[in-house]
Amino acid sequence: MGSAIEGFHHVKVVRVVNWVGIAMVVASLAQPMLSHTALFIMLCFGMTKCLYTIPLKIFTGKFNSSLDLDLTPLKLIQASGNGLSLASDPAGIVNFLDMVNNLQGDSGRGYYMEMSLGTPGQKLNILVDTGSSNFAVAAAAHPFITHFFNTALSSTYKSTGRGVAVKYTQGNWEGELGTDRVLIPSIAGTLTINIATILSSDGFFLPGVNWQGILGLAYPLLARPDSSVEPFFNSVVRQTGIPDVFSLQMCGAGLSASTTADPTGGSLVMGGVEPTLFSGSMWYTPIKEEWYYQVEVLKLEVGDQNLNLDCKEYNKDKAIVDSGTTLLRLPVNVFSAVVEAISRTSLIQDFTSGFWGGTKLACWLKGETPWRFFPKLSIYLRATNTSQSFKISILPQLYIQPIADVDGTLDCFRFGISSSANGLVIGATVMEGFYVIFNRAEKRVGFAVSRCAVNGGIAVSEISGPFSSADVASDCAAGGLLKEPLLWVISYALVAVCVVVLLILLLLLVLPCRHRDRSGEITDESSLVRHRIK
């Protein structure tokens, strides 16, 4: 932002703070029992725009005129045409409202943000992925992408000479590590970021996608080839000083995931939380391990029916929050139980198994929607108070997903839930219902109902609590499989041990057995064959 605009912001801050001070003085000296409503009117009076969208905690106690109040965290930022909005970045480095609607995409093709890389800047769309940690961009032509990052045209690109390969649940790529300047929307200045340039890939770029790279927002432990490669958001926090928090809103709830549909959008807010993006209460669940955003699922309900599985079944291997995964993915046993419960609860008889398995679509006459036939689905997460839980619920508008029409006469849908061999994944199917806060500073993930999670005027997500967690184990994530990075370390260690053992064996075989024949030459035949036979 320019200096003129920043100056205007400062004026607005002083003006609002003065009115808050006046209101507090009047409330304490003139009318100690002044109602919240009257005080709210006083706050609004004389101001060009009323703060009606901000929940205010009103001071009603005895005012101490000698008390110095630090109001610097209460920075108010002007939004063009939208009144004032609370920003929780005390340093004023970022404007959260500038980040609203900075994403495009949908659950079928992923959510991506336009970024500028290199000098001069080259614009690319970058997929937002909380399930990986590398910032990687296409650096070579590919049939499914329209353009790529040409490192030769950037005067600031520097290669490290290190190769890198990343494998995802679906697809993989290989490339080279380097660094370059990246211009991040709504954050002043350019930053130097680790970039993996994708030179070859298999199943990573797909037909119909409109992104050319991936923005891994998880922890360093998942970075490839090792955790010394600083992930994107870690670099942003270190270089700018913004809070170690980001939040994500994905606005494709109940909309077609067809590759022919126009993309919707969403918001990636770096540095904090934008209150205009959610409604109601916000609930937090602890991050169990800092690699993926691993959380602890206590139970699942289909309709009002508890699946009654051991809670460790839900967390088998791991349970994570991953924006880069399209569906809600469930461990095999949990998936089977969910399908059985939905089949039993729904009003549809003899539903094709191909629909549940993701190989077939279900179609209805155009204009008819199937959502009334299906129950809501609820996931219970452990609260920060570990003796309690809360539940996030999605209506069938989120997991019975429209795909495309057929000949203009049918509307077809897919099942937004799949089985998983490597843990439970809260992907876009669920995340589209919520504003999700990744508070890395306090090691917790927050959920609140997203304001854009509405379909046909109906809210398609719910959140409620607290509930007692006395009926589940104290640690449902215990007893899982070894984590992927640890498995890599063990694998490399075993390979190294095997190599050392083989070298020792070869030395033992070769050195003691070497002898000279009558001509005085060492012969392979005598050392490796004859003496071994004897």
Catalytic machinery residues: 129, 322
423/308 Cα distance (integer angstroms): 18
173/212 Cα distance (integer angstroms): 12
Q: Decide if 196 contacts 134 (C-beta within 8 A).
A: yes
Query: Could you tell me the CA-to-CA distances from 242 to 52, 95, 112, 275, 346 in Å, in that order?
Result: 27, 11, 22, 17, 47
Which one-letter DSSP state was computed for residue 317? S
Query: Could you tell me the CA-to-CA distances from 97 to 78, 191, 291, 476 in Å, in that order?
Result: 9, 21, 29, 38
Tokens read off for 475: 């640690």
Task: Give the residue among 221, 284, 281, 204 at the shortest CA–CA distance from 445.
Answer: 284
Place of tokens 């199937």: 370
Distance of CA 233 to the CA centre of its chain: 12
Q: Decide if 85 contacts 54 (C-beta within 8 A).
A: yes
Which one-letter DSSP state was computed for residue 472? S
377/303 Cα distance (integer angstroms): 6
Which one-letter DSSP state was computed for residue 187? B
Q: How many residues does the chain have?
A: 534
Look up residue 405 and give its amino acid: D
Helix (H, G, I), strand (E, B) or coil at 247: strand
101/113 Cα distance (integer angstroms): 10
321/293 Cα distance (integer angstroms): 6
